Amino acid sequence: MIGPKHSTFKRILPQLLILAAALAINLVVFPDFFDIDFRNGRLFGNLIDVLNRAAPVAILCVGMTLVIATRGIDLSVGAVMAIAGATSAAVVVEGHGWVTALLAGLGAGALCGLWNGILVAVLKIQPIVATLVLMVAGRGVAQLITEGKILTFSNEGLIHLGAGVVAGVPTPILIWMALGALVIFVVRRTALGMLIEAIGINERSSRLAGINSRVLLVCVYLVSGLCAALAGVIVAADIKGADANNAGLWLELDAILAVVIGGNSLLGGRFSILASLIGALIIQSVNSVILLSGMPPEFNLVIKALLILAILVIQSPRISYLMYMLRASGPQPQPDTAPLPKTQKEEAQ
């Protein structure tokens, strides 16, 4: 019997190997890549940057993984980031404290998530269309809040969320790791994970088994909205200002990419948040290669596309099957149990 620990490791092994490879490329283009020192009261080094800059995508991909597991997608997270950042900024600029601002931002995100969830679960609009509405309109809402300018603030508490350090570690790193751990814990220690997977694989069967798929779907989009809001507040705090035009721009695509690199199927079903988080780190490592290589920016997109393509090709079913066959071809494929009562590979009929 394979223990749960063992199988988790096996699940994320491909992602860990790709991350190692991406970090190795960083080392090639910049030999001091792994150097970390302590400067100005904070850990200072490229590795810290990768962890820190991965925060927005890492936080987004936690919610996105759950949404995708239900066979959905949330295109609005980038715009929700802008809305939440703008809301928080507007609240501190009004003179309220950072806690109020954070809660206001999260509340705005929750409303956005609720909106998406109702469109998808109650009105049965296809997720890609339903969330497109907010993707397009959301940035406009954020611009209305900031009145089209970068809403700058100087509230130390709020800034701390994005640019501060705790015991030398940049706060965003701690936030995304804590959030990831919390959600993984909740999803796997309750029955939530299994029920979400069931909905993603076969919603009709799940409903007939008595699962409240409607409420669960709304919750999943709500969580995605909350994650997006948290990412939005961090991004705004990082630059001490809410930039409605640019905050979170195209990040929904990076978040989806992180989920895919994490080996999760866009068709829903079995998911691993841990693997998605590693996917986010892989994307940031690729970004780091681009920044450290010193190549002219005209090559940025080409380099990124090539690296991502390589990652996806390595993960493609064909290649995985080849690898599996190569590994299996060593010892003869002996069935590891006594002859089974029946063959299992045949589906019904």
Partner 1 sequence: MTHDTGPVLHAKGISKFFPGTIALDEVDLRLEPGEVHALLGENGAGKSTLIKCLTGAYQRDNGTIHLDGQEVSPQSTADSQRMGIGTVYQEVNLLPNLTVAENLYLGRQPMRWGLMARRRMNAMARESLAGYGLDIDPAEPLTAYSVAIQQVVAIARAVEMSGKVLILDEPTASLDRDEVQLLFSVIRQLRDRGLAVVFITHFLDQVFEISDRATILRNGRVVGTRVLADVSQKDVVTLMLGRQLESQVHDRKPAKAGETLIEVENLGKRGMLDPLSLALREGEVVGLAGLLGSGRTETANLIFGAVPADQGRILLRGKEIPVSTPREAVKHRFALCPEDRKTEGIVGDLSVRDNIILARQASQGWMRPIPRAEVNEIAERYVKALDIRLASLDMPIRLLSGGNQQKALLARWLATNPDFLILDEPTRGIDVGAHAEIIALIEQLRSDGMALLVASSELEELVAYSTRVIVLRDRKQVRELSGAEITPENIVHAIAEHGTPAEEGAR
Partner 2 sequence: MKLRQTLLAGAIAFAPVTAFAADLTIGFSQIGSESGWRAAETTVTKQEAKDRGITLKFADAQQKQENQIKAIRSFVAQGVDAILLAPVVATGWDEVLEEAQDADIPVVLLDRTVDAPDDLYLTAVTSDLVHEGSVAGQWLVDEMDGADCRIVELQGTTGSSPAIDRKTGFEQAIAGHDNLQIVRSQTGDFTRSKGKVVMESFLKAEGGENICALYAHNDDMAVGAIQAIKDAGLNPGDDIKIVAIDAVPDAHLAIANGDMNATIELTPNMAGPALDALEAFLADGTTPPKWIQTESKLFTAADDNQAIYEQKKDLGY
Q: Please give the residues from 247 up to 286 whose contact with partner 2 meets the rule CB under 8 A.
A: 247
Residue 147 binds what, of partner 1, partner 2, none (CB under 5 to 8 Å, by partner type)? partner 2
C-alpha of 56 from chain center: 8
The CA distance from 163 to 30, in Å, is 25
Sequence-ordered list of residues with C-beta below 8 angstroms from that of 235, at least 6 positions apart, any chain: 56, 81, 85, 162, 247, 248
Amino acid identity for residue 230 in this structure: L
Instruction: Judge contact between 135 and 79, C-beta under 8 A.
Output: yes
Sequence-ordered list of residues with C-beta below 8 angstroms from that of 103, at least 6 positions apart, any chain: none
Query: Any idea how long the chain is?
Result: 349
Report the candidate in 206, 115, 25 with the shortest Cα–Cα distance to residue 33. Answer: 25
Min. distance of Cβ 291 from partner 2 in angstroms? 4
Beta strands 165-166; 241-242: pairing state: unpaired
Question: Pick from 114, 133, 239, 310: which binds partner 2 (CB under 8 A)?
Answer: 239
Min. distance of Cβ 297 from partner 2 in angstroms? 4
Is residue 317 close enough to count as binding partner 1 by CB under 8 A?
no
Structure tokens, 345: 């590979």
Is residue 160 close enough to count as binding partner 2 by CB under 8 A?
no
E strand intervals along the chain: 36-39, 42-45, 151-152, 165-166, 169-170, 241-242
Is residue 195 close enough to count as binding partner 1 by CB under 8 A?
yes
Question: Pick from 208, 294, 318, 331: which binds partner 1 (CB under 8 A)?
Answer: 208
Contacting range for partner 1; rule: CB under 8 A; set: 60-68, 116-124, 188-196, 274-282: 188-196
Report the candidate in 39, 31, 36, 112 with the shortest Cα–Cα distance to residue 79. Answer: 112
Min. distance of Cβ 221 from partner 1 in angstroms? 16
Question: Pick from 212, 246, 316, 320: which binds partner 1 (CB under 8 A)?
Answer: 212
Letters for 288-327 (x = contact with partner 2 by CB under 8 A, - = none) are x--xx-x-xxx-x---------------------------
Instruction: Judge contact between 152 and 240, C-beta under 8 A.
Output: yes
The residues binding partner 2 (CB under 8 A) are 30, 32, 39-40, 42, 44-46, 49, 53, 143, 147-150, 152, 163, 235, 238-241, 243, 245-247, 288, 291-292, 294, 296-298, 300
The residues binding partner 1 (CB under 8 A) are 1-2, 189-192, 194-195, 197-198, 201-202, 204-212, 216, 269-270, 328, 333, 335-337, 339-349
